Amino acid sequence: MAESLVLIEHDRQQVKRSSLHAITLAQQLGGEYELLVIGHVVNKISSSLVSLGATSVIVADDPALAEPLADRYATVIAEAVRKSGAKNILGTSSTFSKDILPRVAALLDAPMVTDVVAIEQMDGSISYRRPINAGSMFAKVKVEGERRVLTEDKETFERLVGGLADALGGAIGATHAAVDAGMAPNDYQIGQTGKVVAPELYIALGISGAIQHLAGIKDSRIIVAINKDPDAPICQTATYFLVGDLYQIVPQLIESIRRA
């Protein structure tokens, strides 16, 4: 019997990156885990998941599931959980999950904890660390019952992007992709369908440089881009372009700024 079941988010072509973090959460919780893919004509998605360590990939493929209708999806997920016996039902903190997973929790009569950033031990049992008060504080949440619904993990965005903004006294923005993945709220979005900004310094962390995003930042005086891909289109626009992994560079940058 699997300990956890992870709801996979996808755009019919590929798995959304944020789902990989939900899988990491399943691994941290321990035990076996299963992945659930819902949609129509999702064989490409399901075959891309087989190497991710799950005991099985459950596929619910039906024309009626082509669009992510919350009530329909919630019924499918609750049924899959009952069959698998999973105790943890995991998803990302995206709008997709926020629409569907509370319904799953209601169908299973299970508690739900959103935006889990860490799993900790408290008084001999598991607690879930999550931000409160717009991220200015953290709470440790314990839940009771046989099953629970959990979403993760804005932690990386808040630690790296928020940490750098704090160190510089700056503000945070995000791409459409980051908002879509649930890493940042909608009103952070910069670009054609978001806000237009023109700061003295704009730091683009892991941003490809899509034209729709550039529309919102092109009047910035200095653009520094950090990207692991030396051919990322943003190198054409950036004043300074650093090739490297942001997970390594940004903590060093924060540390240097704090020391200066």
Ligand X SMILES: Cc1cc2nc3c(=O)[nH]c(=O)nc-3n(C[C@H](O)[C@H](O)[C@H](O)COP(=O)(O)OP(=O)(O)OC[C@H]3O[C@@H](n4cnc5c(N)ncnc54)[C@H](O)[C@@H]3O)c2cc1C
- Which stretches of the chain bind ligand X, using CB under 6 A? 175-178, 189-194, 206-208, 210, 212-213, 226-229, 232, 245-247
Question: Which residue's beta carbon is nearest to the bound ligand X?
Answer: 191
CB of 192 to ligand X, least distance (A): 4
DSSP reduced 3-state for 245: coil
Closest approach of Cβ 227 to ligand X, in Å?
A: 4
Rounded to whole angstroms, how far apart are CA atoms 209 and 223?
Answer: 11
Structure tokens at 46: 């399901």
The least CB distance from residue 164 to ligand X, in Å, is: 13
DSSP secondary structure letter of residue 141: E
When the beta carbons of 43 and 193 are compared against ligand X, the nearer one is 193
Q: How far is the CB of 92 from ligand X (least distance, A)?
A: 15
Residues 6+ positions from 168 with CB-CB distance below 8 Å: 201, 203, 257
**138 or 247: whose CB is closer to ligand X?**
247
Q: Assess whether the previous peptide bond of 123 is cis (omega < 30° from 0).
A: no
Using the minimum distance from each CB to ligand X, give the nearer residue, 143 or 210: 210
Candidates 35, 42, 46, 43; CA nearest to 4 is 35
Closer to ligand X by Cβ: residue 18 or 84: 18
Are the C-beta atoms of residues 179 and 188 closer than 8 Å to each other?
yes
Q: Shortest distance, CB of residue 49 to ligand X, whole angstroms?
A: 19
Question: Is 192 within 8 Å of 218 (Cβ atoms)?
Answer: no
Least Å from the CB of residue 28 to ligand X: 20
Contact by Cβ (8 Å): 92, 115? no
For ligand X, the closer of residues 100 and 226 by Cβ is 226
Closer residue to ligand X, CB minimum distance, 39 or 173:
173
Long-range contacts of 63-68 (CB under 8 A, 24+ apart): 64/40, 65/38, 65/39, 65/40, 66/39, 66/40, 68/38, 68/39, 68/96, 68/99, 68/100
- Taking the least distance from each CB to ligand X, the nearer of 94 and 189 is 189
| CB 95 to ligand X: min, Å | 15
Residue given tokens 């709220």 in the structure block:
185
